[in-house]
Each structure stands twice: as C-alpha cells, then as structure tokens.
Chain A
Amino acid sequence: MDVGLNSGQLALRDSVRDVLRTECPPTIARQAITDPQRWRTVWKTVVDLGWTELAVPSADSSFGRMELLVVLEECGATIAPIPLLSSVGLAAGVLRVAGAAVDDVLAEIGGGAVAALAVHPPGHRLPAVPMTLADGRVRGRAVAVPGLPRADLIVTLAASADGPVAAVVRVGDGVTVHDAECTDPAQPIADVEIDAEPVVIAPVDLDSAFATPLVAAAADLVGVAGAALARSVAYAKSRQQFGKPIGAFQGIKHALADNYVALERARGLTYAAAARLDDAATPPAAGWNAAALAKAAAGEAAVGCARTAVQVHGALAQTWEHDMHLYLRHAWQGASTLGDSRALYHAVGRRFAGGAA
C-alpha cells in the first residue's frame, strides 16, 4: 500500500506553503472576520495559480485527489479564509462521483466559481440527504452549509423516486439563504431553504458521494492541528519559567507528545483514505469508512492541538491579537461539519459490529 507523499507532492506542498506564507498569513483570517470582502483578493490569487482546477479530476491523475489534500492541508495550516475546502473539496468532491452530467459544473468550479455543499438536514449529526426531488424541483432545508454566504452554486443531495441524486442549484430565485452567527466568521456558514429547478442532477451512491468531502475536510483539519502544535512547540521552547523553558517540564512535553500522536494518526488515516479512494477495487462502504475515520481523527487532532496550544500559551491566547483563537474557531467549526468525531466513530463502529464493513 502506497501511503504518503511522493516527491512531486512534496514539491507541491512546499510551493503552496511558500505562496501562503506571503499571501495569506493567519492574520488575514483575523481581518476576514471584520471585513466580509477580505477573502476576495486571496481567492483571486488562488484561482490565478490554478488551485481551483483541483476540482476537476485529471485524466492522468497527476493532479488528483492526493494533490487536492496537500493543498487543503496547507490552507488549513494558515487558516486561509477562502472557500477552497467548501467549494473544491466538499461541493466538487461530491460531484466527482456523479458522472459526465456534471462536467460543466465541475469546470465552472475549476474556473473559480464558488460552490457550497448542503448536506446537513436539520437535527442530524451526520451528513445525509436533506432535499427531495419531485416534479423537476429540488425542495428542502439544510443547515450549517460551509461557505454558503460566498457561493454562486449549491451542491446538495436529494431523494428521488429513483434513489438519491446529487443536484446543483444556482443561488438566486427559489434559494433562501439564512446567514448565521458562526464560530469562525472567517469561514462563514449559513442555513438554506431551496425550492428551485436544478441546473443538473445525477444519481450517486451515498457512501461514494461523501467519501471525498470527508477526506478533504480531514486534510484541512490536519493542517490546523499541525500548525497549532508547531506554535505550541515554538512557544514552549522560548517561554521561561522557574529558570528554564517550559518545554523542559514533562507536564508540557507529554501533552505535546500526545498532540503529535493525534496529528500523525490523523495524517496517516487521511493519506491512507486517499490511497483507498484512488484504488478502483475499494468497495464504496470501505471507502466511506476510511474517509469517515480520517475526518473523525482529524477533528479530534485539530481541536485537541488547538486547545492544548491555548493552554500552553496561557493568558496570551485569551487575547484577540493572538492567533490561537482563530485556529481554535476554525478547528471547532470544521470538527462539527460533515459529522463530529464521536458521531463518525459511532457510525463506523456500528457498521463494523453489524458486519456491514
């Protein structure tokens, strides 16, 4: 089994990291909280660099799912306040398994149109099918749609007489967006009510449809976890108390070692899930399980590393000017979209116990 990054992917990671270091340090996320248009200049750069083209699976897989994950992890590490995850990772992620009917929509997303994925029916912890399709119209409600306030297109799932379909709806007539207060205003979410004619529909297998969004969300959260841990380590080396760096105390050391285990556990699961999804022989249920475990682990790692980082930084991290609340907001919000960690673990455990996987 080939798990991990090859030299081309490592080079991509380094170049993405370099771009983000200058174009989008974490302070841009702080600005995006108070300036709702702040994301647009970063987004233009990202579109110009061709990162949104990762929405379209390339025929020779040289620019494939693994490359998408590499870019999303780096964007998570710098909490870039752009809709790359929500549009290219989540919305286009569902469309990857929807066949040729959605090619035009994928091309539009690849060109920089912003799409959002609406898959949380009210009252559900796990992603599901929030809409119905009847008489040529998509109808229903979805909550906590990541990136919706910035979106041109909505990708959703609808129950139809012929089974579940992916449906694409254009934001406009028949689409009511209810902006919501959110934990991470740099990545705004909203609820939506839809009663509209879809641009396109295509039948999908639900396990396959959710697999790429789950693993994409995992990559973003792995990035958050890694960056939060790196901040903790740097601070623990420099901050002195009792005449030595606080990182010399086992109370700090062991907390950060446990963060490292959580981080690499999540990263390994994310890479392994990508490898499984790239293997055509993987059954959809096994692909979903792998992606769900990656998302669950990454949510735990991101929240765990960010919370530990707040603790390690002490009073400093309680302030607006310190970056750590931005990381924790991003971690909390990301961890509870597309299924929180406990709900995902529970679902995979139940499938395993029932012999379904």
Chain B
Amino acid sequence: MNDLLAEYGSWLTDFLPNDYYERYSEYRWDIGLRRDHQRAAFEAGWLQPTWPREHGGRSLGLAEAMEIRLEAAMRSAPKLPNVAGPGVAAPGIRQFGTPEQIDRLLVPLLRGDEWWALGMSEPEAGSDFAGLRTRAVRDGDTFRVKGTKIWTTQAHLSRWCTLYARTDPDAPKHRGISCLILDLESPGVTIEPIRMASISDETFCEVILDDVEIPVENLLGPCNGGWQVAMSSLNHERQMIWIMNWVEIQRGLNSVRESTAHHDDDAAGEVFAELGSLLADAEALRATGYRALNNELSGRPSPESGILKLLGSLTLQRVWELDAAAAGPRSIDDADLLFERQDALAATIYGGTSEIQRNIIAERLLGLPKG
C-alpha cells in the first residue's frame, strides 16, 4: 500500500508544474492542464484505480483505490474537466454497454477526447426524475426523440449525452424509461448554454430535441431499464463524492485558521465553537467513509454511507460561510471566496437534493412509510 501511494505521489509530483501550489488559484481554471492530467492519469492507470489497465486503472481493491483518491484530493490534483464522463457515464457504459459500445466509446471518454453530458433533468422533472416527459418512439431501426433537457452541464462542449427518455408511456413511471446514447452532433439537436450566476466551467445548457433520430443500437442497458442505469451510474459517483467534499472542507478550515490569525478584535474567538463543530463534521465524513468501506469489504451492509452526501454537502456550505465570517469585511473583495460560496450551493442540489437525501434516509434506512 505504502509503495503504491509513494508511486502515485511521485507520479503526481512529476506531472504538476513546479509552481502549481503557489498559483493554484489560477491553475484550477486551466482546462489545458486539467485535460493533460486526465490523459496522463488514464495512461498511468490512476484515473479509475479499480478498473483494468485498458480502462485507465490498475485493477486495485476498493481500499487501495480509496487511498489513491484521498491522496489525489489531499494534494489538490487537477480536477477532471468533464466529471460527468469518467464519474457517471463511464461506470454506466462499463456495466450496461454492449461490447461494441464499450469498444467505440470508453477509451475516448476516459482519455478526455470526447466529453459527455447527462441528459436527465427536464423543465418539469428535477427531483422527480422518473416523471420525465421526453419521448422516444421506436421507428424501425431508430428511436425518434422529442423533448427538452435542461441544466445539462457542459452539453455545448460534449460529443455524447446519456439521454433518458420515455419509451413506454403506459408503464408505471419508473419502468417506462430508457437510456439512449445520443450523438450531440445529430440533426435536430439544439444546444443553448445558460449564463451562470457565478464564474464556472460547468456551464448549464438547455438541450432541445426536435425529432432526433437515435439508432436502436445506441440503447444503453435494456429497453425500459433506464431507471436502473441511472441509479447505478449515479451511485458510483455518490460513493466517492465525500472525498471531494472532505478535501474542500479541509481547504476551507485552513482558510478560517489563516483568517483568525489576523484577528485583534472582541469577536476573535467567536468562530472557535463553529470551527470545532466543522472539524468534527470533516472527521466524521472520513470515519464514515472508512466504516462503510470496511463493512462492504466484509460483506456487511453499510447503511451509514447514507449520511455522506447530506453531511458532506451541508458541511461544505457551512465552512465557507464561517470563512466569510472569519474574514470579516475582507470577505467582500475576495473573488475566490465568492466562487467557493456560490459553488458550494450546488452541492446540496446536484446528485439528489438534501430533501431527497433525507427522504431516502427516512424511507430506506429507517423504514418509514412513503408519503
């Protein structure tokens, strides 16, 4: 394990520019560097450590992969420029794809040559994902698709989209959805980027589908089995998202520490109790991540992992709010802090809102009846 971590660590050191940490606030926006990092990580087998070599991994166990991911996060390794690809679409393709789909799509995705968008949310289907209205009607060897997707991150930069559409309008709503792999260059696809409230490289788009033809062989998973494809793809990311939250929380906590060092007024100690509480949250995330992993490795259920998304996202927001408090009026002219505060607001929405997370905990873990 230590050898492996050392090997990864020195690989990362070799990759990063010498002034990476001094100029992190610039490099974090450097898409070129982030693209190069993804390609290099794919080739070295650090991209998805549990996967085999040809898919950007080293066939590592879950525990080893977690250590690699933690190390990457703690060292602020460049973020994937298109998280939806390797984080969500790729696990779905690996699990549900035909050999032809895997052969055509997976390596360009993992190398970062082709970006992916997730065609899930619609104007009338957000948390109620299964209520989506985009229709796909079988017509010989194609599906003809009509509908509108929205909040589709990076669609304007992507080649492909995992498009969820209703293929059986008569079935119960969870059972009439299919996942289709949409080539975003197809005729009838219109993509409109949406201006974001903050600086962002994860721009939302509206994707309008006007009688778009998708070949039947682009079905991912079984026809009308799209719900399972979606849940399984998202689950892969959900298990790891706490690591990203945890590291960003650490960054926020360190920033609070720096701010309090400059205090000389009566409110100087005001932040300590909240700071301690946030330190507990951060440590609880890590402890729970490890507990869940140990349970999974021992073949036991790991219900405690159900708190990771909710606790991680809420803590992330609180830490940047405390950082703003600790900075006092200096928080106002701090563009990096503004970005952190705005960016953290998304964490309690994407991948299932906090309200949906609480419903899941109450219904699936505590066994309370559905409303």
Residues of chain A whose beta carbon lies under 8 Å from any beta carbon of chain B: 1-4, 7, 229, 233, 236-237, 244-245, 247-250, 252-254, 256-258, 260-261, 264-269, 271-272, 289-290, 293, 296-297, 342, 344-350, 352-353, 355
A249 contacts across to B, CB distance below 8 A:
371
Known: A272-B290, A353-B272. A248 touches B257 (CB 8 A): no
What's the minimum C-beta distance from B71 to chain A, rounded to whole angstroms? 13
Nearest CB of chain B from residue A254's CB, rounded to whole Å: 4
Contact yes or no, A269 B287, CB < 8 A: yes
Query: For A256, what are the chain B residues with a Cβ–Cβ distance below 8 Å?
Result: 362, 366, 368
Given A248-B369, A257-B359, 18 further pairs, Cβ under 8 A: A237-B367, A247-B369, A257-B358, A260-B307, A261-B307, A264-B304, A268-B284, A268-B291, A271-B287, A272-B283, A345-B280, A347-B272, A348-B275, A348-B276, A349-B279, A352-B253, A352-B275, A352-B276
Contact A260 B369 (CB under 8 A): no
Instruction: Indicate whether B363 reaches chain A with its CB closer than 8 angstroms.
Output: yes
User: Which of chain B's residues have a CB closer than 8 A to the CB of A258?
Assistant: 358
B239 in the interface (beta carbon within 8 A): no
* Contact A248 to B370, CB < 8 A, known contacts A254-B355, A264-B307: yes
Q: A256-B362, A268-B304, A296-B276 are in contact. Are A353 and B311 (CB under 8 A)?
A: no
Write the residues of chain B forming the contact surface with A, with a CB cutoff of 8 angstroms.
253, 256-257, 260-261, 269, 271-277, 279-281, 283-284, 286-288, 290-291, 294-295, 298, 304, 306-307, 310-311, 355, 357-359, 361-363, 365-371
Cα–Cα, bound, A269→B357 (Å): 21
Which of A245, A290, A344, A355 has a CB less than 8 Å from the CB of B369? A245
> Are the CB atoms of B283 and A233 closer together than 8 Å?
no
Residue in A7, A245, A261, A267 whose beta carbon sits within 8 Å of that of B311 in the complex: A261
Q: List 7 A-B contacts (CB under 8 A).
A: A245-B369, A254-B355, A256-B362, A266-B284, A297-B280, A348-B280, A350-B276
Residues of B within 8 A of A267 (CB): 304
Interface Cβ pair total, 8 Å cutoff:
153
- On whether A265 and B288 interact (CB within 8 A), knowing A237-B368, A253-B371, A257-B362, the answer reads yes
Expressed in whole angstroms, the Cα–Cα distance for A1 and B291 within the complex equals 9
Cβ of A345: which chain B residues have Cβ within 8 Å of it?
Answer: 272-277, 279-280
CA distance A246 to B146 in the complex (A): 41
